[in-house]
Homo-oligomer: A and B are copies of this chain.
C-alpha cells in the first residue's frame, strides 16, 4: 500500500476523544448546574458525585476547582462545595457586563460577518419568530440563544465568546425563568427585529446600542421574576 511522504499528516482521523477525566467531569457538572439538575445552594458532596460518575476523588476535585474559578460553585475550606446561588446583586452585575460584551461583538460582527452568515442569522430569526407565534417557548429560547451566539461568534473574537459564555453560564437559569412573561416576550421580539435590521445594514454602532439595551431590558424582566435571595 503505497503512501506519499505526507500522507499521514493529510489523513484526518476522527480525533480519539480522550479528554482527561477532570475535563469531562467539569463539562458534565457544568451542564448539570447550568441546566438546573443541581439546584443552586445545594451541597455537592464529593463522595456522592464520585459514585455517580464512577471516578475517584482526585479528578473530581480538580473539576470542582475549575468550576469554582468559573463562579459556578463556591468552595468553603474544609466544608465542601455548594452550587453558587444567584443573588439579585449578581444579576445586576453580570447583565451589564454581558451587555457590554454583546455590544462589542455586534460592532465587530457588522464589520466581519459574511453576507451568508448574516443571512443564516436572518433564518434563525425567522424561525424564532415562528416559534414565538406558535407559543413554543423552549424552541424560542434555543433560537434566541443561537442568534446571540452567532453574533458573538461572528465577531471573530474567541476570547470574547469564551468570556461571554462563562458569564452566561452563571445566569442561565435565571434567564430561562424570566421567559414566561408575555409582555416582555413581545418586546423581545421587537428588539430582535431591530437587531437583525442593524446587522443586515452592518450598522455596528447601532447594533451595539440595541444589544446593550436589549440586555438591560432582559435584566429588568429577569429581576421582576427573580425569586432568589
Which A residues are closer than 8 A to B by beta carbons?
18-20, 22, 58, 61-63, 65-66, 68-71, 77, 90, 93-94, 96-97, 99-101, 103-104, 108, 157-160, 163, 167
Among candidates B19, B68, B159, residue contacting A97 with C-beta atoms closer than 8 Å: B159
Starting from the known contacts A65-B65, A97-B104, A99-B104, 7 additional A-B residue pairs (CB-CB under 8 Å) come to A65-B66, A69-B69, A90-B159, A93-B157, A96-B160, A97-B163, A100-B103
Among candidates B65, B66, B93, residue contacting A160 with C-beta atoms closer than 8 Å: B93
Residues of B within 8 A of A19 (CB): 77
Q: Is the interface of A mostly helix, strand, loop or mixed?
A: helix
Among candidates B65, B94, B104, residue contacting A100 with C-beta atoms closer than 8 Å: B104
**Smallest distance from the beta carbon of A198 to chain B beta carbons, Å?**
17
Residues of B within 8 A of A68 (CB): 66
Residues of B within 8 A of A61 (CB): 62
**Smallest distance from the beta carbon of A28 to chain B beta carbons, Å?**
15
**Smallest distance from the beta carbon of A52 to chain B beta carbons, Å?**
20
Complexed CA–CA distance, A167 and B157 (Å)? 14
Residues of B within 8 A of A100 (CB): 100-101, 103-104
Contact of A97 with B157 in the complex, beta carbons under 8 Å: yes
26 A-B pairs whose Cβ atoms sit less than 8 Å apart in the complex: A18-B77, A20-B77, A58-B58, A62-B62, A63-B65, A66-B66, A66-B69, A69-B69, A69-B70, A71-B159, A93-B158, A93-B160, A96-B108, A96-B157, A96-B160, A97-B101, A97-B104, A97-B159, A97-B160, A99-B104, A100-B100, A100-B101, A100-B104, A159-B167, A163-B163, A163-B167
Nearest B residue (CB) for A94: B159
Complexed CA–CA distance, A20 and B18 (Å)? 30
Residues of B within 8 A of A157 (CB): 93, 96-97
Contact of B104 with A22 in the complex, beta carbons under 8 Å: no
Complexed CA–CA distance, A90 and B104 (Å)? 16
**Smallest distance from the beta carbon of A106 to chain B beta carbons, Å?**
11
Complexed CA–CA distance, A103 and B93 (Å)? 15
Complexed CA–CA distance, A18 and B90 (Å)? 27
Residues of B within 8 A of A62 (CB): 61-62, 65
